[in-house]
Structure 1
């Protein structure tokens, strides 16, 4: 049976939080188990047929290869592994089978048991290196973009991430403090909008009068390694379609954290719909001034009952609630502590918005960004480069025997 007839029955579930490559790998696995798929198309063919990036197909194939369901031949593509035990056995039995099969093949190549043991020790050491998380900083003007992009990247790579507001970076005149902070990350990401501004600012710092004072930082090496990566992001097409479909003159409420994100949403509303009957509730404003755009009078952020009553009434009146994608409000807690230095921080306000978001989910439009595939490939290449460097360092330290 032609593979196209099989994949005609497959479509990505955009509402599902499971990454696309896992959805695809599960469908392929199911099709192989049910004997409906007996041929694996090339990455290019399948990505074209499904109208999805080649990176998605590649990651799906690699996952199936890792699970023992597919194997690859250099220059020929991927093939189905016919060993049914890989599908029918428990994880432990499957692991025993694969390791035993590998050892048998190595013994046939005249390797000794001691050689094989050294191979395994070296490979395990290398895998431990690869499992270490990459430390990534994201510099931007609004934390909403950071949380959206962070969650996209975390689905693909093992990372630790941190948000650095561009305003605090540019206002900080302590060169040592800025460079020390930046040097603690393996990768620094920023958007196209801020890339040149940040790059020039950091270059001025490392080439300034005080450059000899930075003992912990190799200034030239910092830029030679291209630690700063420009990420291209744009609103998800589904988001724009949903906004375009909003009925004219309907009542809209935008709830977000930062004023900058509210401006972004406002610009797209004005561009593809209309701004009439649109109100904004910006959490940042509540913490900065104890006053939000919805409220005519100043309101103490600790008066949860009053705020809840006002917001609930407003949510019942509106037709659409527009919020940032991945808007897990409590994630902003550390950011609020860091930026507003609130001594007695009351989490109840954030809990309130987390709860109301669920109650009025039928009115929600999530404003989502997508990182383009070219940026993801750049990040993946940089992560592979970092892992290779770590491996080299481990070899030099004698942790891994290079000859093995």
Structure 2
């Protein structure tokens, strides 16, 4: 499989990969059931960040031309088994029409997403699973916590920003079995949720590996932080202050709000990123981070998690709900 990347093109690298593979599948150059290289293999072969390859594969799967199966690999779908055109095109047109109508009603993109989530939950009717609403003040922590809680069997996790919940006063009582938030936000959320008895509080903490990496940073090190929100950037800043006892030489940038990321990184010796940064950065930002790594500079992944005691308590609450649903 030959993929030519044009560095000077205005087309993002991941999109060039998508276009090439899609064209080869449509032309028959890549036949049905053909096994594509793994993300790691293709990244090494093309000397491109794995996140870029993963993004391309995700897009191809959305287009319905490949299928990624954990433990088996990534394969070209058989057109005889999957209608690649009509049904998907009709569905996309229906969604576009509905989105246009909701925009005419002056709903924001975020509000439309919330409405979709709520209506989908109503239709799922998966009573065997425990439905959890996860509420926090920043998207980075929401995603990290959701990934951790999703490992618990038979749970469905839905993420909500605290500001949206307080503004809209969601009726969580009918839609979810548990509402999970941090101790920091418990009191204000308790006033906003209809059935406050369903709220479970947790404590978040950086992992031991993250604490060790931050503790190693020498005084005076020029630190750069890239995040999706100022709230999470402040969490990182506080951790550095607590570990060193001094104000660090730290500069912060937010994904999608600055065009000078390469210049910003060129002045930094260490870069701190949320563990799930690929969910928030653009292709240009991802490339700048990749170049920073290849220059031999240090990148610290800030890993945030539910602490051990909170997680055990949460598992107990989930088990209680499961038993009640089985009666």
Q: TM-score range by the shorter chain?
A: 0.5 to 0.7
- Deviation per CA, 1:296-337: give whole Å up to 9, x if none: xxxxxxxxxxx3xx322332332111011232325xxxxxxx
> Residue deviations 1:237-271, cap 9 Å, x none?
32122112111212111000111111111222223
2:273 equivalent to 1:323: yes
User: Is the partner of 1:328 in helix, strand or coil?
Assistant: helix
* Secondary structure, aligned partner of 2:318: helix
* CA distance in structure 2 between the aligned counterparts of 1:157 and 1:359, rounded to whole angstroms: 39
CA distance in 2, matches of 1:266, 1:322: 10
Partner residue in 1 for 2:199? 228
Match of 2:54 in 1: none
2:174 and 2:282 map into 1 onto residues whose CA distance is 33
Gaps of 5+ in 2: 1-124
Q: 1:182 to 1:367 in 2, by over 3 A?
A: farther
CA contact (8 A) 2:128 2:325 kept: no
**Offset, 1:139:** 1.2
How far apart are 1:159 and its partner, in Å?
A: 3.0
Q: Distance in 2 between matches of 1:160 and 1:352?
A: 33
Larger radius of gyration: 1
Which residues of structure 1 form unaligned runs of 5+?
1-128, 207-221, 287-291, 293-306, 331-348, 393-404
Is 1:283 aligned to 2:255, yes or no? yes
Q: 2: CA distance between counterparts of 1:187 and 1:357? A: 38
The answer for the alignment partner of 1:201 in structure 2 is 192
Q: 1:136–1:188: 8 Å Cα contact kept in structure 2?
A: yes
Structure 1 residues 170 and 352, CA, compared in 2 at 3 Å: closer, same or farther? same
**Counterpart contact for 1:329–1:351, Cα < 8 Å:** no
Task: Show the counterpart of 1:240.
Answer: 211
Distance in 1 between residues matched to 2:185 and 2:164, nearest whole Å: 14
SS of residue in 2 equivalent to 1:388: helix
Normalising by structure 1, we get a TM-score of: 0.45
- Cα 1:329/1:130, change in 2 over 3 Å: closer
Which residue of 235, 239, 246 corresponds with 1:264?
Answer: 235
Relative distance call for 1:351 and 1:135 in structure 2 (3 A) is: farther
- How far, CA to CA, are the matches of 2:231 and 2:237 in structure 1? 10
> 1:228: Cα distance to partner?
0.8
Corresponding residue number in structure 2 for 1:311: 261
Task: Give the structure with the higher percent strand.
Answer: 2
3-state SS of the aligned residue for 2:326?
A: helix
* Whole-angstrom CA distance in 2 between matches of 1:388 and 1:235: 32
Give the length in aligned residue pairs.
199
Structure 1 residue 372 corresponds to structure 2 residue 298? no
Distance 1:131 1:171 in 2: 28
* Counterpart-to-counterpart distance in 2, 1:143 and 1:269: 21
Give the Cα separation in 2 of the matches to 1:246 and 1:277: 11
Q: Which residue of 2 aligns with 1:385?
A: 320
